[in-house]
Amino acid sequence: MTTKNIIILTGAGISAESGIKTFRDAGGLWEDHPVEQVATPEGYAADPALVQRFYNLRRAALKDVKPNAAHIALATLQSEMIARGGDVMIVTQNVDDLHARGGAQNVVHMHGELKRVFCTACDHHMDCDDDISVETTCPACKTIGTTRPDIVWFGEIPYHMDAIERAIKTCDLFVSIGTSGAVYPAAGFVQIASHYGAKTLELNLEPSQGSYHFDETRLGKAGSIVPAWVEEILA
Ligand code: APR
For 114-172, the pLDDT digits (tens) are 999 999 999 999 999 999 999 999 999 999 999 999 999 999 999 999 999 999 999 99
What is the pTM (predicted TM-score) of this model? 0.96
pLDDT classification of 200: cutoffs 50, 70, 90: very high
Tell me how far the alpha carbon of residue 12 lies from the centroid of ligand 1, in angstroms.
Answer: 4
Has 124 been annotated as catalytic? no
Q: What CATH class is the domain 22-64+118-151? A: alpha beta
Q: Which of 195, 6, 177 is nearest to 84 (CA)?
A: 6
Strands (E) located in 5-146:
5-10, 29-30, 33-34, 87-92, 108-109, 112-119, 125-127
Among 71, 99, 109, 111, which one carries the catalytic annotation? 111
Fold of 5-20+67-111+156-234: Rossmann fold (3.40.50)
**Would the CB of 16 count as within 6 Å of ligand 1?**
yes
* Residue 158 per-residue DSSP state: P
Q: Which of 82, 150, 161, 89 is nearest to 116 (CA)?
A: 150
- Tell me, what's the pLDDT at 228? 98
Strands (E) located in 14-153:
29-30, 33-34, 87-92, 108-109, 112-119, 125-127, 147-151
Q: In Å, what is the CA distance from 228 to each residue of 11, 87, 92, 208, 232? A: 19, 19, 20, 20, 6
How big is the chain by its Cα radius of gyration, in Å? 18
Close Cβ partners of 83 (under 8 Å, ≥ 6 residues apart): none
Predicted confidence (pLDDT) per residue in 37-93, tens digit = 999 999 999 999 999 999 999 999 999 999 999 999 999 999 999 999 999 999 999
Ligand 1 nearest-atom number relative to CA 30: 30
**Would the CB of 147 count as within 6 Å of ligand 1?**
no
Say whether pLDDT at 32 is over 80.
no
**Would the CB of 8 count as within 6 Å of ligand 1?**
no
Cis amide leading into 185 (omega within 30): yes
* Residue 144 per-residue DSSP state: B
Gap between the terminal Cα atoms of the chain: 15
Q: In Å, what is the CA distance from 172 to each residue of 143, 193, 233? A: 47, 8, 13
**Would the CB of 206 count as within 6 Å of ligand 1?**
yes
Domain ranges for the chain = 5-20+67-111+156-234, 22-64+118-151
* Residue 139 per-residue DSSP state: T
Q: Which of 220, 151, 179, 203 is nearest to 25 (CA)?
A: 179
